Amino acid sequence: MYRKFLISAFLIISIIFSFSICLANDATNMLEDAGNNIRNAIGNVENGVEGAAKDASNTSKDATENMTQKANNIGNELMDNNNGDDYTATRVATDTANSNSFMGMDANAWTWLIVGITAIAIIALIWYYTMQLRSSNNNNDHRD
């Protein structure tokens, strides 16, 4: 058994050293090539990230410019259309002052009233279920 192991190890070592090409043949070039390859790989990643960031920046800048231009166009059209119509803010304010109220309360007051009632209902439900849970726990504690 020992003899077979020794012969196998000898064959493996002689096969390894029989090749004339060795990766560690020139250590300085190998380290330099590895360094260059790593530097190139990092450079490629940097270039990709930089390109993606530039593309995203250009896209958002173009979208912002387009929205600004459209908003300016709409504003200019509104200004052009309203110049000859005798449109005044006073007329609108006096015409619609009391038309948006229901039972003496405007929409803002109704909204707060509904929010308040909903909050009270939620608090009442939480209190009810907490008391029910506490009551059922007390009943379970008294059983033998």
The closest alpha carbon to 102, from 90, 116, 114, belongs to 114
Residue range of the domain that includes 126: 106-139
Same domain for 37 and 72, yes or no, is yes
Same domain for 74 and 111, yes or no, is no
How is residue 99 written in tokens? 């038309």
Judge whether 95 lies within some domain. no
pLDDT digits (tens, 9 = 90+) for 39-59: 888 888 888 888 888 888 888
Amino acid identity of residue 20, one-letter, is: S
Quickly state the pLDDT bin for 101 (edges 50, 70, 90): confident
pTM (predicted TM-score): 0.31
Same domain for 77 and 116, yes or no, is no
Task: Output the pLDDT for position 121.
Answer: 95
pLDDT digits (tens, 9 = 90+) for 85-98: 555 565 555 444 45
Provide the number of structural domains found in the chain. 2
In sequence order, the β-bridge partners of residue 102 are 105
Judge whether 64 lies within some domain. yes
Same domain for 74 and 39, yes or no, is yes
